[in-house]
């Protein structure tokens, strides 16, 4: 009669097997509860309580009032502690690979065989907060080069879904070349993006923020101020250009002046007093001979003398 009731209760309990969701951060502690609510009057010393992972490896066993380590798998030895007050197993130093489902069984040992009183399934999710994204200048900002930035965030989980830059007053998401890498030991991800944009016209200063998103959260960098250097490149450019133009003009004027003076000398020459002057003139004869012959027949006729 008593056994029949117990079996009935067991079936009832299993039919509405409890399922719990639990979350833990990497390297912190996870709670795997086993709330034994339906038979409060049974003491721990009459029960066998144990936890198994998906591969049926035992994390912990409480056997008729004492801890029993024989069946505990090596990978869980020393990583658990059992809280008797609320029947919770605490799993320490959680890693990404601990993510998954765990079963807690509560069994009663009647004189013969074993009866499962309760089975509790816990879904454990494990996440790691990404480091605050960090913006870095690849190149100093100038009007000519524009902005060249990268942003990086490290050691998170799950995999990022999106990463982008936000720029003052724009709702657009900027950036490209998203790179995701995964540490093959810790299974944590790192992500980076880069941004290369001309500096918008008519603006001297901008604020940029970098954002990383996963399916469940969003983390932003500190805002980064970009300011063009005191409009120096532009001023300097014009100053230099202006200076060169001035120098050029002066040189040009000087050349013109020299040429004019020279021509004036030619236009009203003093009578050829020596042969050197005539010879000098002679070398230009090809170009100016016609004019010169017309204007200065004396010089022209003097040629044969020179030779
Ligand atoms: C627990 O057992 C005691 C007697 O041992 C009984 O008086 C009490 O009503 C029981 N409580 C529950 C919740 O079954
Ligand atoms: C169980 O109790 C411990 C402290 O006594 C507490 O840290 C933990 O959160 C509790 N767990 C549950 C599932 O209530
Ligand atoms: C992760 O980030 C959340 C939200 O910002 C915060 O509440 C939580 O304490 C962080 N966890 C760790 C382990 O830093
Ligand atoms: C930017 O300019 C500063 C000096 O103004 C220099 O020290 C720094 O190395 C430059 N940074 C880059 C990324 O070129
Ligand atoms: C952003 O908008 C504010 C107000 O609308 C304006 O004062 C500011 O100049 C804008 N900044 C840029 C960089 O466009
Ligand atoms: C992780 O990757 C590095 C090189 O990328 C390799 O040398 C190392 O053996 C890998 N470790 C594991 C545990 O796979
Ligand atoms: C800046 O961005 C341009 C693309 O617009 C790229 O070609 C250049 O290499 C970048 N500068 C540096 C220093 O990486
Ligand atoms: C960036 O500029 C804003 C105002 O435009 C200012 O409030 C903020 O302190 C600046 N941040 C840094 C890091 O200079």
- Give a three-class secondary structure readout of the chain: CHHHHHHHHHHHHHHCCEEEEEEEECCCCEEEECCCCCCCCCCHHHEEEEEECCCCCEEEEEECCEECCCCECHHHCCCEEEECCCCEEEECCCCHHHCEEEEEEEEECCCCCCEEEEEEEEEEEEEECCCCCEEEEEEEEECCCEEEEEEEEEEEECCCCEEEEEECCCCCCECEEEEEEECCCCCCEEEEEEEEECCCCCCCEEEEEEEEECCCCEEECCCEEEECCCCHHHHHHHHHHHHHHHHHHHHHHHHHHHHHHHHHHHHCCCCCCCHHHHHHHHHCHHHHHHHHHHHCHHHHHHHHHHC
**Is 97 in the same domain as 19?**
yes
What pLDDT, on a 0 to 100 scale, did the predictor assign at position 173? 94
Closest ligand to Cα 209? 8
> How many domains does one find in the chain?
2
What residues make up the domain containing 100? Answer: 2-126
Cβ atoms of residues 207 and 149 within 8 Å: no
Cβ atoms of residues 131 and 178 within 8 Å: no
For ligand 8, mutation pick of 168, 225, 226, 228 (most atoms within 8 Å of CB)? 225
> Ligand 8 in contact with 169 (CB < 6 A)?
no
Cβ atoms of residues 221 and 135 within 8 Å: yes
**Is 7 in the same domain as 117?**
yes
Residue 237 lies in a domain: no
**Is 160 in the same domain as 103?**
no
Single residue among 177, 205, 231 that ends a domain in this structure: 231
Report which of 44, 29, 12 is spatially closest to residue 94, judged by C-alpha positions.
Answer: 29
What pLDDT, on a 0 to 100 scale, did the predictor assign at position 271? 52
What pLDDT, on a 0 to 100 scale, did the predictor assign at position 17? 61
- What pTM, to 2 d.p., does this model score? 0.69
Domain of residue 213, CATH code: 2.60.40.10
Tell me the pLDDT tens digit for each residue of 289-306. 444 444 444 544 444 444
What pLDDT, on a 0 to 100 scale, did the predictor assign at position 138? 93
Measured in Å, residue 185 CA sits from the centre of ligand 6 at 8
**Is 86 in the same domain as 14?**
yes
Residue 252 lies in a domain: no
What pLDDT, on a 0 to 100 scale, did the predictor assign at position 12? 42
- Positions in the chain whose pLDDT score sits under 50: 1-16, 233, 272-273, 275-283, 285-297, 299-307
Measured in Å, residue 177 CA sits from the centre of ligand 7 at 13
**Is 173 in the same domain as 117?**
no
Residue 20 lies in a domain: yes
Single residue among 184, 212, 231 that ends a domain in this structure: 231
For ligand 2, mutation pick of 23, 24, 82, 88 (most atoms within 8 Å of CB)? 88
What pLDDT, on a 0 to 100 scale, did the predictor assign at position 214? 95
What pLDDT, on a 0 to 100 scale, did the predictor assign at position 251? 80
**Is 138 in the same domain as 112?**
no
The CA distance from 214 to 159, in Å, is: 6
What pLDDT, on a 0 to 100 scale, did the predictor assign at position 275? 46
**Is 122 in the same domain as 139?**
no
Cα-based distances in Å from 180 to 27, 130, 177, 222: 22, 13, 10, 21
Nearest CA to ligand 7 atom 13: 139
Single residue among 126, 160, 177 that ends a domain in this structure: 126
């Amino acid at each position: 009669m008593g056994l029949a009731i117990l079996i009935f209760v067991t079936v009832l309990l299993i039919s509405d097997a409890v399922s719990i969701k639990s979350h833990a951060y990497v390297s912190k502690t996870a709670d795997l509860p086993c709330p034994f609510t339906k038979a409060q009057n049974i003491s721990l010393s009459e029960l066998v309580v144990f936890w198994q992972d998906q591969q049926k490896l035992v994390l912990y066993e409480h056997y008729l009032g004492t801890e029993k380590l024989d069946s505990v798998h090596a990978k869980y030895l020393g990583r658990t502690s059992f809280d008797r007050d609320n029947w919770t197993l605490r799993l320490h130093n959680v890693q990404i690979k601990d993510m998954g489902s765990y079963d807690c069984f509560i069994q009663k040992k009647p004189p013969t065989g074993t009866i499962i009183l309760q089975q509790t399934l816990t879904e454990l999710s494990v996440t790691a907060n990404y480091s605050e994204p960090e913006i870095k200048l690849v190149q100093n900002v100038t009007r000519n080069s524009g902005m060249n930035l990268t942003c990086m965030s490290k050691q998170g989980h799950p995999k990022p879904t999106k990463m982008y830059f936000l720029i003052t007053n724009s709702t657009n998401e900027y950036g490209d070349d998203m790179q995701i890498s995964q540490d093959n030991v810790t299974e944590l991800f790192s992500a980076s993006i880069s941004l290369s944009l001309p500096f918008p016209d008519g603006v001297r200063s901008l604020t940029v923020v970098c954002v990383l998103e996963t399916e469940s959260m969003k983390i932003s960098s500190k805002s980064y101020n970009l300011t063009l250097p005191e409009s120096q490149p532009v001023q300097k450019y014009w100053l230099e250009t202006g200076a060169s133009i001035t120098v050029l003009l002066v040189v040009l004027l000087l050349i013109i002046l020299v040429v004019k003076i020279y021509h004036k000398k030619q236009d009203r020459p003093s009578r050829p007093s020596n042969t050197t002057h005539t010879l000098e003139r002679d070398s230009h004869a090809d170009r100016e001979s016609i004019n010169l012959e017309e204007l200065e027949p004396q010089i022209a006729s003097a040629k044969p003398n020179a030779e």
